[in-house]
Structure 1
Amino acid sequence: MNAFYASCHVAEEPERYAGRPIAVAGDPATRHGVVVTASYEARARGVKPPMPVQRALARCPDLVLVRPNFDLYRSYARRVFALVREFTPDVEIVSIDECFAEVTRAPGGDRPLELARRLQGRILDELRLPSSVGVAPNKFLAKMASDMNKPMGITELNAENMPLLLWPLPIEHMHGVGPSTARRLRRIGVQTIGDLAVQSLDVLGRVLGPRAAELKARANGVDPRPLETEPQPPKSVGHSITLAVDARSFDEVEGVVMDLCDRVTSRMRRYEVMGRVVAVSVRDRHMRTMRHQDTLPKHVRHASELFQAAKALFLRVWPSEPVRLLGVSVEGLVPLSGQGVQLSLWDTAAPGGLPRNEKLERLERVMDEVRAKFGPSALRLARSLSGHKDDVHGRGTSLERLDDEEDAK
């Protein structure tokens, strides 16, 4: 989908937003003022995410700011995916505004470009949403093709036209190559996707490690990943928040971090997972982001455990400049079922009592039930009441999937 969040507001209230430069952003009054996405009218005026609201307004004084409405976005996303499923049942939902659709067995699947035009037209006519479609023999090429002609583009990418359309692109434009990987590749002379395609695997292996073969194959148009039509368990769960007031020390935000950990572990319980890799992120007032992670000796699943690990990481990475954003995530997730839980000396039960881990599990699930009934801020942990009073449960940001939101209702 093209500028999806902004496009949803235009589709919902065209008389108010159509043709105007709009940006979906947090509340500037609380400093949660970073542009999440912008309409193409705003982008033409230099407004791009994740630009601070103040800078966006300086570039485009008549910019219309719209607060995020995730219920609206989820509603439109479900309607888009339902429409796609009218063409084929084989659909993999990647995110709230993106999916893969296998059309080989669908009626008209032997004419994929015509099918793409029909699908794009129906999304625009019935939902008033612009979209771009990539037509390709695998997921990687389809993703790259869908990004090539926005807005309202349809691009076919295959082995025949790949040297002309894909290989000249800068290496940073390749899906799956982040800034750090791009810097390493540029140091060995890989400037474009085509350079990656022809570079020797031995040289790439010394720079990229185990990912070398996969990235080289994709640069050559090879991606054997199957379509995953069933929702997959998350590989990580995280939550972040932009502070209402910049913080100069961890002590000022100890309560906010406790709330972040509480939010993350609540979602982990929903998925019935635990993890050993804890990561934290910090963004200072100059928009520089620092990230640090650690692999723990045992899995975490409770808010108190996660808080202790996150606190140690935050103290290690805390910058000299005031901080405006904090994030906590747990990665390397495994299912709770079938996993042994390492107990400490304090986890053993008193005679006739429950082990500490089981007590915590029961208590936290009761908290989840209360929040589901009375709202996410109905219950707070005592430690979260110290320092800054930022409402993580009501205002934080997470990459929650559509099925996750369904389960939460």
Structure 2
Amino acid sequence: MPTPNPISTPTPRLTRASAGARPPAPVRAVHLGLGAFHRAHQAVYTMADPDWGVAAYTFRNAELPRRLTEQDGLYTLQVRGDGEPQTRIVDSISRAHPGGDTDRWLADLASPDVALLTLTITEAGYRAAGNEDGSAIGRVLAGLRGRHRAGGLPIALVPCDNLPGNGSVLRDAVRNAAEGEDSGFRCWLEDHVSFVDTVVDRITPATTADDAVTAARLTGFDDHAPVVTEPFSEWLLAGEFPAGRPAWENAGARFVGDLAAYEQRKLWFLNGAHTLLAYTGPALGCATVDEAVRHPVLAALTESWWDTAARHASLPAEDLVDYRERLLRRFSSRGIRHHLLHIAVGGSQKIPARILPVLRAERSRQRLPEPAIAALAGWLIHLRDREVADPRADELVALARADDGARRVLSAIDTDLADDRELVTAVDDYVDHLRHSVRSNP
């Protein structure tokens, strides 16, 4: 007779009871923009202070809050370098909510126990009109309005998106959205709501089905909301927390007086190189960042971009050399499959912050920097030939497909650059160069 198959034991669902985790901490922080980056970054830092729990909201995805609620807010963080992934179970999210839970959102923002609101709403979220139903700024304003009516205790707003001066950007967006409000509320905003500037850094690619399999293998738990990230993490903050904050420094966060030079370094060197590779890499047959930085042409373009940016950077040269070395190690790691087309999303917000400042500085010195031109040419090809995810997609795709597409697209993001005939010609020529590369690398 054949030997019967042994009965397999089902993998238990990840919950606080199954994992032996602490009970949910009291909610003292609210987060808007529940997604992979928040769960790989701010939620991990907050876990270092067991007295602080997070109520996390997303207005895009009802499925993720449901999964996290079924898991009592827990999820597996897989930290991937070049060897076996390291795992930890993150327990700082006390509650997870979909965007339709408006009453709970307003109650949390009005609660005297809540001292801060962190946000990861993408670059586009800060530019959407605040008084529109469903916009991130509109939601924030509604929450602050309710807090004011409930007694007006102070609160800190902590944006964690890749924007220079993100605290100031958020402050201006909230002020503009509140222009039609009564004077008492507007005065309260000025006196009791602080806006903290931050620099955040941790490469966090989209999660795949295989990541859940790996999480189960490594932890023994069935996790329907795992997150994958790299070993490196950085969080720099500058600002006031009038009602207190978690001890984020226990997990490595740094509080500094001025973030400008660090913002510049992050946006130009890391994000700028990512944007360059996202638009030029596919032309040479590369799908991920680690593939791209191993390609000799793209590796040379990346180093040239860093050389160019370094000419205009504020931090000391030795700091930049060390940063570049670390970036190259991070980009080259095979543990993180960071897809170029994912990075290519939202170019109309990313290019003005990451590429154009360096390009303007170079043009003021009558130089035509190849890597910046390559990034713009690659973006033009992306707009013409690929599926475009961008808040201005319809407008930009139509402009890019016109006969003078390079000039028109440049005009949409910087009219001065669009009037630079030498630059426009260089971008057009580089489009032809990249298209030839596509034909040579089918």
Asked if Structure 1 and Structure 2 have the same fold, meaning a TM-score greater than 0.5 normalized by the shorter chain, the answer is: no
Structure having the larger proportion of residues in strand: 1
Structure with more helix by fraction: 2
Q: In which range does the TM-score fall when normalised by the shorter chain?
A: under 0.3
Q: Which has the higher contact order (CA 8 A, sep 6+)?
A: 2
TM-score w.r.t. the length of structure 2 is 0.23
After TM superposition, the score normalised by the length of structure 1 is: 0.24
